[in-house]
Amino acid sequence: YPLISVISIAGTALSIFLIMLVVMLQQVKVAPFSPESNRDRFLHVHYMSISHKDWGDGTSNGPMSVRTAREIYKSLKTPEAVTIYCSMPVSTPVSLPAMPAIGADVRETDDTFFKVFDFRFVNGKPYDEATFNAGTPVAVITESISRALFGSTESAGKEFLLNHAPYRVVGVVKDVSTLADASYGQVWIPFTSTDLPNDTWSDQHMGMMSVTILARSHDDFGEIRAEAKRRMSEYNSILADQGYTLI
């Protein structure tokens, strides 16, 4: 029965393929690779919930505001570093003056982002704390975007238009895989250079930001979680006068 044999072999091969595919997909989620080489030391806070005494059992769920991220997570003492960044990249037109625009995935970050995630710079460097605090319109871009705009990866110091606003390139990095969920983008800019920090709700407690915590060691996870829980409890005691509780 050749046909039955063929079907049996094909079925077995398909089963093995699907098992390998599932294993590979799971491996990609945890395997370290640049710019997420320190995945074994990462703790992510992508979303949270907030309730109010007047809402009954209702909650508002989503990313947090810059204010909340700073008050609870940026204040932690145990981690090596804590970065605050937009929870998702946004497709945005980039161009040179009088030239057609192309779409680029833009992620807004703080300066610590480039200390937590190990990007491979091929030209220039990341924006620093002073530049971030000043809200200077600068950008780190990928090799692909650099070539598309300038025809070269040597573009540090050059200017381009991001959604029609002038930005200066300070660094160029290797392209980033979309599988690097937390760090992926094609253009990275300081969130202080835009109105993103004002995109909030629930009295500025919820917003558009996520947090990644870089532990000094995987062994510190328990202590970091305990410290974060204490800090949230302390912050909730302040919010109690407004009727809010963060979860």
Question: Global pTM?
Answer: 0.88
Model confidence pLDDT, tens digit, residues 184-207: 999 999 999 999 999 999 999 999
Residue 123: pLDDT over 90:
yes
Model confidence pLDDT, tens digit, residues 31-65: 789 999 999 999 999 999 999 999 999 999 999 99
For the chain, give the secondary structure using H, E and C: CHHHHHHHHHHHHHHHHHHHHHHHHHHHHHCCECCECCHHHEEEECCEEEEECCCCCCEEEECECHHHHHHHHHCCCCCCEEEEEECCCEEEEEECCCCCCEEEEEEEECCCHHHHCCCCEEEECCCCHHHHHHCCCEEEEEHHHHHHHHCCCCCCCCEEEECCEEEEEEEEECCCCCCCCCCCCCEEEEHHHCCHHHCCECCCCECCEEEEEECCCHHHHHHHHHHHHHHHHHHHHHHHHHCEEEC
